[in-house]
């Protein structure tokens, strides 16, 4: 009797499988597509949760194993990529500490950093928890991997912002001491807090995925990682822009794997397009309100931070979002422009 190869489940490809295919295929034993083909071994309350919010989700697919991460990210590849990014950011942070960089920032820009950048740690934790939930509930192993690594990227963003806040506190005592209070009460942040909190109780795995990766997160990432970076550069804080550039590389990958998964499910079942579009319609007003709350920052109208406006942000963000959705045959709500 011939020995069974470790990648027996990939033999139908009639070629040597890649490392990505071997370590990401058929990982979930309880979905019916794993090695055992069984559901849960025991009848436990958790099984009802998975049935309701995973198996009975309106988003369907004949086989979730068809999804492929365009980057083919394994844990090994992920740690190698992030190691190089962290070395880059570590160098920037070291330069800040050795050059008295923070002592030269203007008072108005320090106000922006305190009110707009420092509190970003709190929604960042929300984005991390939502991505982790998607990773827990996703019906395919490769989706689990990408969503879980996305959660790791969100934690990286939180940690780097927290480190940057601490650097500023060493030079400017009391800096950002009110970050939690701002997140909880400042009108600037309340629409985003509402969106995050509603997403945290969106339990259908696919709706959570759409609301996060197709609605809120791409808009939020572009606003902060791109446009706030431009504002920082104009205000003389070029090193913050470089840190955000590195963090934005993570965000770009999140959009890439999201596009691949969305195209796959629409190609598998054309009715999925209608389901996804309905969820976009549902969640976009919340995301739009959250993003537009930051308009005073880019229009030069933020209190205690008189700065020239950064022109065209609303139009550029709308164009960016329409282009993003159009790559998947989707569109933002007509009656509620991004």
- Write out pLDDT tens, residues 43-85: 778 888 999 999 999 999 999 999 999 999 999 999 999 999 9
pLDDT of residue 338: 41
Task: Look at residue 333 and tell me if it is in a domain.
Answer: no
Residue 57 covered by a domain:
no
CA-based nearest residue to 224, from 330, 334, 127, 146: 127
Average pLDDT over residues 188-208: 98
CATH number, position 320: 1.10.620.20
* pLDDT for residue 4: 54
Query: What's the predicted TM-score (pTM) here?
Result: 0.92
Q: Give residue 67's region: left, alpha or beta (phi > 0; psi -120 to 50).
A: beta
Q: Is residue 336 part of a domain?
A: no
pLDDT of residue 64: 95
Instruction: Tell me the per-residue pLDDT of 267-289, one tens digit each, with 9 for 90 and over.
Output: 999 999 999 999 999 999 999 99
pLDDT recorded at residue 250: 98
The pLDDT tens digits of the residues spanning 316-325 come to 999 999 999 9
Summarised one tens digit per residue, pLDDT across range 124-174 is 999 999 999 999 999 999 999 999 999 999 999 999 999 999 999 999 999
Report pLDDT for 31: 75
pLDDT at 2: 53
Q: Is 69 helix (H, G, I), strand (E, B) or coil?
A: coil
Summary mean pLDDT of the chain: 92
Model confidence band, residue 111 (pLDDT cutoffs 50, 70, 90): very high
Domain residue limits at 136: 64-326
Q: Report the distance separating Cα 269 and Cα 59, nearest Å.
A: 9
Distance (Å, rounded) from C-alpha 23 to C-alpha 106? 50
Q: Classify residue 29: in a domain, yes or no.
A: no
Whether the CB-CB separation of 213 and 265 falls below 8 Å is answered with no
pLDDT at 104 over 90: yes
DSSP code per residue over 93-142: HHHHHHTTGGGGS-HHHHHHIIIIIGGGHHHHHHHHHHHHHHHHH-SSHH
Q: What is the pLDDT confidence band of residue 309, given thresholds at 50, 70 and 90?
A: very high
Reply yes or no on whether the pLDDT at 36 is more than 80. Answer: no
**Is 4 part of any domain?**
no
Band of residue 20 on the pLDDT scale cut at 50, 70, 90: confident
Q: What was the pLDDT predicted at 11?
A: 53
Number of domains in the chain: 1
For residue 327, is pLDDT > 60? yes
Q: Is residue 26 part of a domain?
A: no
Asked whether residue 113 is domain-assigned, the answer is yes
For residue 90, being part of any structural domain is answered with yes
């Amino acid at each position: 009797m011939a020995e069974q190869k470790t990648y027996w489940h990939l033999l139908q490809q009639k070629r040597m499988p890649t490392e990505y295919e071997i370590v990401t295929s058929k990982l979930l034993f309880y979905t019916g597509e794993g090695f055992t083909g069984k559901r849960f071994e025991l009848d436990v309350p958790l099984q009802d949760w998975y049935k309701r919010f995973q198996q009975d989700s309106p988003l369907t697919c004949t086989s979730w194993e068809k999804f492929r991460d365009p980057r083919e990210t394994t844990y090994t590849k992920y740690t190698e990529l992030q190691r190089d990014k962290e070395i880059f950011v570590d160098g920037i942070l070291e330069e800040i500490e050795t050059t008295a960089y923070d002592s030269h920032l203007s008072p108005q820009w320090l106000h922006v950093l305190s009110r707009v950048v420092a509190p970003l740690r709190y929604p960042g934790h929300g984005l991390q928890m939502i991505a982790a939930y998607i990773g827990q509930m996703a019906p395919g192993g490769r989706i689990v991997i990408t969503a879980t690594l996305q959660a790791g990227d969100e934690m990286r963003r939180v940690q780097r912002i927290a480190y940057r806040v601490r650097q500023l506190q060493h030079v400017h005592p009391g800096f950002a001491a009110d970050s939690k209070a701002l997140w909880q009460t400042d009108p600037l942040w309340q629409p985003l807090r509402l969106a995050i909190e509603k997403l945290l109780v969106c339990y259908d795995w696919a709706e959570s995925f759409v609301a996060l990766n197709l609605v809120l997160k791409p808009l939020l990432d572009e606003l902060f990682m791109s446009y706030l970076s431009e504002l920082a550069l104009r205000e003389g804080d070029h090193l913050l822009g470089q840190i955000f550039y590195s963090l934005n590389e993570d965000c770009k990958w999140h959009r890439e794997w999201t596009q691949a998964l969305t195209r796959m499910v629409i190609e598998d079942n054309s009715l999925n397009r209608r389901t996804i579009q309905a969820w976009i319609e549902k969640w976009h007003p919340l995301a739009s309100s959250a993003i537009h709350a930051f308009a005073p920052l880019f229009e030069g109208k933020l209190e205690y931070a008189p700065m020239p406006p950064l022109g065209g942000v609303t139009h550029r963000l709308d164009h960016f979002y329409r282009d993003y959705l159009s790559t998947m045959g989707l569109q933002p709500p007509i009656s509620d422009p991004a």
